[in-house]
Amino acid sequence: MQLLFSSLKLFEVHHLKNLLEAEGIRCHIKNELLSRLAGEIPFTECAPQLWLLDERDLDRAKQVVADFGRSAPATPPWQCPDCGEALEGQFSACWHCGALRPESR
């Protein structure tokens, strides 16, 4: 299996899975339940992940993921309220201390 996408926002992972399945591409979500523990264990270890089941679909799947990325609204960089780390907009949690971005709390 091939990892396609990972996000702490479970709805994004589900939305992308729906888009892929609409194209006939089979995929599987890992860590769906673990994401509820975000904040208690490092978020990089519990973010929901979307895995491709058949690598023959990889090129088409990458295209769907790229289109999905472009359609998502751009998120501005932000600063962690807990430790002050500067973070890029695509991160929904601080890589340094694991705090969630304020508007996603």
Interface residues toward Zn ion, by CB under 5 A: 80, 82-83, 85, 94, 96-97, 99
C-alpha–C-alpha distance, residues 58 and 75, integer Å: 27
Question: In angstroms, what is the minimal distance from the CB of 82 to Zn ion?
Answer: 5
Q: In what order do the strands lie in the sheet with 2-6?
A: 2-6, 49-52, 27-30
Q: Which is nearer to Zn ion, 12 or 85 (CB)?
A: 85
Q: Considering the complex, what minimum distance in angstroms separates the CB of residue 9 from Zn ion?
A: 18
CB of residue 27 vs Zn ion: minimum separation in angstroms? 31
Instruction: Give the residue with the Cβ less far from Zn ion, 9 or 14.
Output: 9
Between 3 and 37, CB nearer to Zn ion = 37
For the purposes of burial, counting CB atoms within 10 Å of the CB of 56, is it exposed (0-12), middle (13-18) or buried (19 or more)? Answer: exposed
Question: Helices 58-71 and 10-22 meet at what angle, rounded to 10?
Answer: 130
